[in-house]
Structure 1
């Protein structure tokens, strides 16, 4: 019963985000934090974002460090809009895009899906970046 009670907040957030498709970055941060049952860490998120994890790229390989300006895909050279939400208000507002890009980018950087804790830490770091 205790597990169900802890899972309920993240489930209700997931249902509301999934149903509406539109959200804001704080909604995703709350969702990932609830799923991980840990407080997000800006410091851990910054370290995760800038580090390689056994694969060729880090998040910053394409998004830059800090990710407040235009980035460039490491292999295609395609331009990438700023990742930090305060520098690009479209970031982390569409649940389908958030799911798609976390899945794709985590696989490129880690060779696996990111954990909810990793997502929360990275998003906390990105939200800490202000104009």
Structure 2
């Protein structure tokens, strides 16, 4: 019995020459786990405003939200009445949500939509509504419906969590 116990203990011992490698691997894994947990917790907290907004839109009569409808709306080109130019959400925000965009008229930088990059992006329902009001008017020359807002939020969630 004593011999078996000694063999089991020996199996779990690390050779002294491997201590630096073992510590490096463990530290790297621990760092990755902690970084992932931090990003996940920030992204989850930052997107807390999205679900209540989607619930509000459904109470206003929206159907279940759809990623594909959101993607189509995001990329839809609309002829602007006054400028005569085509506009879409992706003109300013881009198609990669982890990178900053740029407003096509003012040239101002727009922070990335990804909550992993910009943790406070969707933390305020009031701000999200404000930007929907401005951006829908700018892009589509009209307010977005609750259905459209929910589809766009669902599309953004899908794109930012998928990558």
Q: TM-score range by the shorter chain?
A: 0.7 to 0.9
| CA shift in 2, pair 1:31/1:86, >3 Å | farther
Higher relative contact order (CA 8 A, sep 6+): 1
| CA shift in 2, pair 1:75/1:126, >3 Å | same
The equivalent of 1:57 in structure 2 is 87
The structure number with the bigger radius of gyration is: 2
1:25 aligns with 2:50: yes
TM normalised by structure 2 equals 0.61
CA offsets 1:37-64 (integer angstroms, 9 cap, x no match):
3000100001100111332310000000
Distance 1:53 1:32 in 2: 24
Preserved contact between residue 49 and residue 125 of structure 2 (Cα < 8 Å): no
Structure 2: 5+ residue stretches without partners: 1-47, 81-85
Runs of 4+ in 1 over 4 A off after TM superposition: none
Distance 2:116 2:61 in 1: 25
Structure 1: 5+ residue stretches without partners: 1-22
The equivalent of 1:68 in structure 2 is 98
